[in-house]
């Protein structure tokens, strides 16, 4: 029997293997050159889009179905990106087809062709340049020809600048004076702004990055306002000058129109943005433009790490400590870590920047794996803010604010400055409490080990909302347990602070900024624009830690961070320290020195003490010591299997079965099955099994062998489960 060639295809289904199909009917014999092309295939009753991973020989061709159609004329996924995605599938132990589906923009995932990225422009011909003087003055064709004298002009731009240009262009075309040409679609920014002269430390950093030969990881560790972005911009400029592409990752809240404008005007070329505000087609266009090498600078959030970079020169990850780089569902990748993998494969330098580096990155810098670049002063003339800790024990508080703090806010406003009041709880109050019997309003669908999760009070005290599952309910008229009417909102949220500050300072604007008020991406910018330079108060959550430069901001008040001091999560201290330093960094720019006031019931807390007196690096040293002693990352490597089901037994049975597949004593420790930090969410029971190892290798060796068996467990079919390698939250 003649050998029958087959296609081995990765499909976006939650199964670990590749799938064999016959080539589409009437197509030539497939070869290795077809690897990376997309095909449409039948899968059960459905049709799916997959990517060819290899060509094989069928033992039993009659058992195979033919693919329906080729979708790409040439491989869509090839070279470095294809190799890096294979790495990611191995590392996360996720199906390759699902990893590829995560990496591709939705239209490509659906099987649409690679987007057209070309636009059209008009330019004068040689005849036109020589002869346009003969055109009658002040006619449309003559005015259009005058405009084109300086060079080709994009049709998008003509639409903006020249009414009814098409008839004028047709007239010029007819005389052979102008022609239509194909160009890259984006309009370049009008002019380039020069940057400031770098200071000595910036200069050193820029030179180190520019001198990198091939892959080299850098930790650019510089306080807020020390000029890290300037360093990125200069390194990118050099990368562009060498004809290479640059990819810049920023956290979700960091990609503001202001940031993009700064990049565009400084670099003087189109900067392609990739963020959650774009629609699918816009994303696909940027992806296509990058894959063709047309997009030279791509600035984007987490998923931009999957941008193809055929001419890569540099990768930057700004605010590398930010938790939004970790995808928390589906394929649980960390964009910073994957960017390093890509940088290595692409042989380009990777710059991780932060004022509060993650302990992982600091550890890598200390051990010499990353080159540690430090910017220790604020750029220009800006001074670091002074920090004061207010002991609020036994003090009379007005909705959480101490009298001295209220007076201080008044003084800063009097002086014509702005004040930021930071509270990391949104809503009106975290809990609704019955003063007579102690009842608290619970979410019916969620709970923690000790009690049900309280609903947060919103809508000036009229509405309840669960921050974990989104459930909403009206505030009851009376206590459901004792019928008392003494229901009181307990604790302070941003809404309640806003209400109080409006009462205290009726002559000044008070703007609240949190996830409830800034659901839309540019809402933050717009809110800040309404404040402008006038004295006023901003109240908000950590969203305020980033974004728009606020030169008039001289006082940052941190209200009630105490909840964060006692969390069970081993990363809680790190997150709290980063949040405090980032928010404090907003105070004081240029000629106005800033102050940071911290209110706490725990003035002697070791973390606060170290942070206030020694700064972030002293805190990080101490914290790394504790992590090492306790055997937590970065001194251990973790993988977490999560399971959820309607009945807790089903979730536990599955995880116990997994645990039984793992032999004890191979360098990997097993903890669990145990309840998740929130054992019930949205009506599902949630449990987890933690695997921990001192070395990465035994852990991954174990997972390699384990995962195929896990997919095959009969208990797996009765639960929703996932594997999280390097989990951020335990
Ligand atoms: P970071 O990214 O570390 O927060 P930026 O690069 O945004 O810091 O710089 C903070 C401010 O200081 C910006 O307004 C920037 O234009 C300015 N700046 C940066 N470097 C210099 C410099 N060498 N001289 C003067 N101003 C500078
Ligand atoms: Zn009651
Ligand atoms: Zn809930």
Give the number of residues written for the chain.
730
Q: For residue 231, how many other CB atoms are within 10 A of its CB?
A: 28
pLDDT for res 440 = 82
The residues with which 720 forms a beta bridge, in sequence order, are: 644
pTM over 0.80: yes
Residues 367, 439, single domain; the answer is no
Q: Domain end: 56, 90, 110, which one?
A: 110
So what's the pLDDT on residue 626?
87
Shared domain for 398 and 328, answered yes or no, is: no
Ligand 1 atom with least separation from CA of 197: 23
Do 356 and 241 reside in the same domain of the chain?
yes
Distance separating alpha carbons of residues 226 and 337, to the nearest angstrom: 25
Of residues 706 and 605, more confidently modeled:
706
What's the chain's average pLDDT?
86
Tell me the sheet residues that pair with 49.
40
Residue 134 sits at φ, ψ, to 5 deg, of: -80, -10
- Residue 657 counted as domain residue: yes
Query: Is position 189 within any domain?
Result: no
> For residue 475, how far is its CA from the centre of ligand 2 (angstroms)?
13
In a domain, 338, yes or no: yes
Task: Examine the pLDDT at 187 and tell me if it is beyond 70.
Answer: no
Which ligand is closest in space to the CA of residue 351?
Answer: 1
Which has more pLDDT, 122 or 587? 122
Distance (Å, rounded) from C-alpha 110 to C-alpha 674? 39
* Atom 23, ligand 1: residue with shortest CA distance: 198
Probe residue for ligand 1, chosen from 230, 234, 384 as the CB with the greatest number of ligand atoms within 8 Å? 230
- pLDDT of residue 519 exceeding 90, the answer is no
Angle, alpha carbons 492-577-204 (nearest 5°): 140
Task: Please indicate, yes or no, whether residues 77 and 40 belong to a single structural domain of this protein.
Answer: yes
Atom number of ligand 1 nearest to Cα 198: 23
Average pLDDT rounded to a whole number, residues 521-537: 77
Please, are residues 250 and 304 in contact by the beta-carbon 8 Å criterion?
A: no
Query: Does 134 or 102 have the greater pLDDT score?
Result: 102
The mean pLDDT value for 179-188 works out to 68
To test the pocket of ligand 1, the residue of 379, 582, 616 to mutate (highest count of ligand atoms within 8 Å of its CB) is: 379
* Cα–Cα distance list, 86 to 36, 105, 342, 680 (Å): 12, 18, 11, 35
Is residue 370 domain-resident? yes
- CA-closest residue to ligand 1 atom 14: 225
Tell whether 194 is covered by a domain. no
DSSP 603: T
Q: Among the ranges 15-24, 346-355, 398-407, 530-539, which has the highest mean pLDDT value?
A: 346-355
Q: Could you give the number of structural domains in the chain?
A: 6
ipTM: 0.95
Q: Are 389 and 238 in contact (CB under 8 A)?
A: no
CATH number for 359: 3.40.50.300
The reply to whether 139 falls in a domain is: yes
Would you say 12 and 89 are in contact if contact means Cβ atoms under 8 Å apart?
no
Any known ligand binding at 434? yes
Give distance in angstroms: CA of 470 to centre of ligand 3: 6
- b/e string for 586-598 if b means 16 or more Cβ within 10 A? bbbbeebebbbbb
CA distances from 142 to 305, 658, 688 (A): 47, 78, 74
Angle formed at CA 301 by CA 295 and CA 305, multiple of 5 degrees = 65
Based on the fold, state whether residues 405 and 513 are members of the same structural domain: yes
Which residues, 6+ apart, have CB-to-CB distance to 368 below 8 Å? none
Instruction: Please state which of the ranges 197-201, 251-255, 346-350, 472-476 shows the lowest mean pLDDT.
Output: 251-255
**Residue 191 has what pLDDT?**
56
Nearest CA to ligand 1 atom 25: 380
Are 595 and 519 within one domain? yes
To which residue do tokens 């080990």 refer? 449
Residues enclosing ligand 1, CB less than 6 A?
Answer: 196-199, 202, 222, 224-230, 379-380
Residue 585: pLDDT over 90: no
Residue 479 marked as a ligand binder = yes
CA–CA distances in Å: residue 702 to residues 88, 331, 712: 17, 19, 16
Atom 5 of ligand 1, nearest CA residue? 227
Between CA 465 and CA 468 the distance in angstroms is 9
- Say how many Å lie between the CA of residue 70 and the centre of ligand 1: 50
**From 464-468, 477-481, 525-529, the region with the lowest mean pLDDT:** 525-529
Contact present, 209 and 218 (Cβ < 8 Å): yes
Name the more confident of 515 and 366.
366
Ligand 1: centre distance to CA 222 (Å): 11
- Nearest-angstrom CA–CA distance, 262 and 195: 10
CA distances (Å), 304 to each of 102, 274, 300, 478, 562, in order? 11, 6, 5, 50, 36
Atom of ligand 1 at shortest distance to CA of 382?
A: 12
The tokens of 235 are what?
């390194």
Interval 44-72 mean pLDDT: 92
355: Cβ–Cβ under 8 A, 6 or more apart, which residues? 221, 222, 223, 224, 226, 228, 581, 582, 585, 616
Distance 481 CA to ligand 3 centre (A): 20
Q: Is residue 274 part of a domain?
A: yes
Q: Which ligand is nearest to the Cα of residue 248, counting in written order? A: 1
Residue of 201, 224, 225 to mutate, ligand 1, most atoms within 8 A of C-beta: 225
* Sequence-distant contacts of 339-342: CB under 8 A, at least 24 apart: 339/247, 339/249, 339/305, 339/315, 340/217, 341/84, 341/87, 341/88, 342/80, 342/81, 342/84, 342/305, 342/309, 342/312, 342/315
Paired tokens of 676: 């998740």
CB-based contact 309:245 (threshold 8 Å):
yes
Distance 85 CA to ligand 2 centre (A): 56
What separation in Å is there between the alpha carbon of 454 and the centre of ligand 3? Answer: 8
DSSP 369: S
Domain hosting residue 317, numbered range: 200-375
Which pLDDT score, from 0 to 100, does residue 548 have?
A: 62
188 assigned to some structural domain:
no
Is 446 annotated for ligand binding?
Answer: yes
Same domain, 481 and 497: no
Average pLDDT over residues 239-248: 94
Distances from the Cα of 195 to the Cα of 221, 230, 253, 318, angstroms: 21, 8, 24, 19
Give percent helix, percent strand, percent coil of the chain, each to the nearest 5: 35, 25, 40
What pLDDT shows up at residue 486? 82
Domain end, chosen from 579, 608, 627, is at: 627
* Residue 4 counted as an annotated binding residue: no
* Closest to 633 in 3D by CA, of 568, 695, 567, 703: 695
Report how far apart, in Å, the C-alpha atoms of 492 and of each of 367, 442, 568 are: 42, 17, 21
Residue with tokens 């098409």: 166
Could you say which ligand is closest to the alpha carbon of residue 353? Answer: 1
Distance 452 CA to ligand 3 centre (A): 9
- Indicate if 501 and 532 belong to the same structural domain: yes
Asked if 172 and 292 sit in the same domain, the reply is no
Among 110, 142, 163, identify where a domain stops. Answer: 110
Q: Show the tokens assigned to 197.
A: 């002269």
Does 466 belong to an annotated binding site?
yes
Rank 214-223, 455-464, 512-521, 598-607 by mean pLDDT and report only the highest: 214-223
Tell me the C-alpha distance between 349 and 213, whole Å: 8
The answer to whether 469 is a known ligand-binding residue is: yes
What is the CA(332)–ligand 2 centre distance, in A? 43
pLDDT at res. 258:
75
Indicate the pLDDT class of residue 450, thresholds 50, 70 and 90.
Answer: low
Which one of 224, 318, 380, 551 would you pick to mutate in the ligand 1 pocket, going by the greatest count of ligand atoms within 8 A of its CB?
Answer: 380
Question: What average pLDDT score do residues 340-365 get?
Answer: 97
Q: Are residues 435 and 424 in the same domain?
A: no
Which DSSP state fits 721? E
The set of residues, in sequence order, having a beta carbon less than 8 Å from that of 60 and lying 6+ positions away, is: none
Nearest CA to ligand 1 atom 6: 227
What is the C-alpha to C-alpha distance for residues 413 and 110, in angstroms, rounded to an integer? 55
Strands (E), 601-653: 637-645
Same domain as 74, residue 162: no
> Is 239 known as a binding-site position?
no
pLDDT tens figures, 715-727 = 988 899 999 999 9
Nearest atom in ligand 1 to the alpha carbon of residue 375 is 3
482 and 362 both lie in a single domain: no
């Amino acid at each position: 029997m003649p050998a029958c060639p087959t296609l081995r295809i990765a499909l976006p289904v939650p199964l670990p293997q590749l799938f064999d199909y016959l080539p589409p009917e009437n197509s030539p014999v497939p070869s290795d050159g077809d690897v990376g092309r997309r095909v449409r295939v039948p899968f059960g009753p459905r049709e799916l889009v997959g990517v060819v991973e290899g060509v094989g020989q069928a033992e039993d061709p009659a058992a195979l179905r033919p693919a329906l159609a080729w979708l790409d004329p040439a491989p869509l996924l090839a070279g470095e990106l294809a190799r890096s995605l294979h790495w990611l599938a191995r590392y996360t132990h996720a199906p390759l087809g699902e990893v590829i589906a995560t990496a591709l923009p939705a239209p490509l995932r659906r099987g649409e062709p690679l987007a057209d990225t070309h636009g059209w422009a008009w330019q004068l011909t040689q005849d036109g340049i020589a002869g346009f003087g003969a055109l009658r003055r002040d006619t449309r064709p003559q005015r259009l020809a005058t405009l084109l004298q300086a060079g080709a002009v994009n049709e998008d731009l003509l639409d903006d600048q020249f009414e009814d240009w098409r008839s004028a262009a047709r007239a010029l075309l007819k005389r052979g004076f102008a022609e239509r040409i194909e160009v890259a679609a984006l309009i370049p920014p009008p002019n380039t702004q020069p940057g400031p002269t770098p200071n000595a430390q910036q200069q050193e950093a820029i030179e180190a990055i520019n001198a990198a030969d091939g892959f080299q990881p850098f930790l650019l560790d510089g306080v807020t306002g020390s000029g890290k972005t300037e360093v990125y911009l200069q390194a990118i400029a050099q990368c562009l000058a060498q004809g290479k592409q640059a990819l810049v990752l920023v956290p979700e809240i960091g990609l503001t129109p202001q940031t993009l404008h700064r990049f565009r005007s400084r670099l003087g070329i189109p900067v392609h943005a990739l963020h959650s505000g774009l629609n699918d087609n816009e994303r696909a266009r940027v992806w296509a433009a990058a894959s063709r090498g047309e997009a030279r600078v791509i600035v984007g959030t987490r998923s931009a790490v999957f941008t193809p970079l055929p001419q890569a020169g540099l990768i930057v990850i700004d605010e590398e400590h930010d938790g939004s780089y970790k995808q928390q569902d589906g394929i649980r990748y960390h964009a910073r870590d994957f960017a390093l993998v890509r940088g290595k494969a692409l042989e380009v330098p990777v710059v991780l920047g932060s004022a509060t580096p993650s302990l992982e990155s600091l550890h890598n810098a200390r051990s010499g794996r990353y080159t540690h670049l430090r910017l220790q002063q604020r750029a220009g003339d800006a001074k670091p803010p002074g920090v004061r800790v207010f002991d609020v024990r036994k003090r009379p508080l007005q909705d959480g604010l101490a009298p001295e703090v209220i007076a201080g806010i008044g003084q800063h406003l009097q002086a014509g400055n702005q004040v930021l009041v930071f509270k990391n709880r949104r809503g009106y109050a975290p809990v609704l409490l019955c003063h007579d019997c102690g009842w608290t309003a619970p979410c019916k669908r969620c709970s923690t080990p000790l009690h049900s999760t309280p609903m947060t009070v919103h809508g000036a005290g009229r509405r309840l909302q669960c921050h974990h599952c989104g459930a909403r309910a009206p505030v009851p008229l009376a206590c459901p347990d004792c019928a008392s009417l003494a229901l009181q909102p307990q604790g302070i949220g941003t809404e309640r602070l806003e209400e109080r500050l409006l009462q205290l300072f009726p002559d000044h604007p008070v703007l609240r900024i949190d996830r409830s008020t800034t659901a839309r991406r540019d809402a933050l910018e717009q809110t800040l624009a309404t404040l402008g330079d006038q004295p006023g108060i901003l109240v908000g959550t950590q969203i305020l830690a980033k974004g728009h430069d606020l030169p008039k901001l001289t006082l940052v008040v941190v209200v009630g961070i105490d909840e964060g001091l006692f969390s069970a999560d081993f990363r809680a201290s790190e997150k709290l320290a980063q949040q405090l330093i980032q928010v404090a960094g907003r105070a004081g720019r240029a000629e106005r020195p800033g102050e940071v006031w911290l209110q706490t019931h725990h003035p002697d807390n070791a973390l606060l003490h170290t942070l206030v007196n020694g700064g972030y690096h002293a805190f990080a040293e101490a914290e790394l010591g504790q992590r090492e002693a306790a055997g937590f990352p970065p001194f251990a490597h973790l993988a977490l299997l999560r399971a959820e089901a309607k009945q807790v037994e089903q979730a536990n049975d599955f995880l116990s079965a997994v645990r039984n597949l793992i032999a004890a004593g191979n360098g990997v420790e097993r903890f669990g099955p145990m309840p998740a930090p929130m054992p019930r969410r949205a009506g599902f029971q949630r449990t987890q099994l933690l695997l921990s190892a001192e070395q990465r290798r035994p852990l991954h060796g174990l997972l390699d062998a384990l995962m195929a068996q896990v997919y095959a467990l009969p208990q797996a079919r009765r639960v929703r489960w996932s594997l999280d390698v390097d989990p951020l939250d335990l």
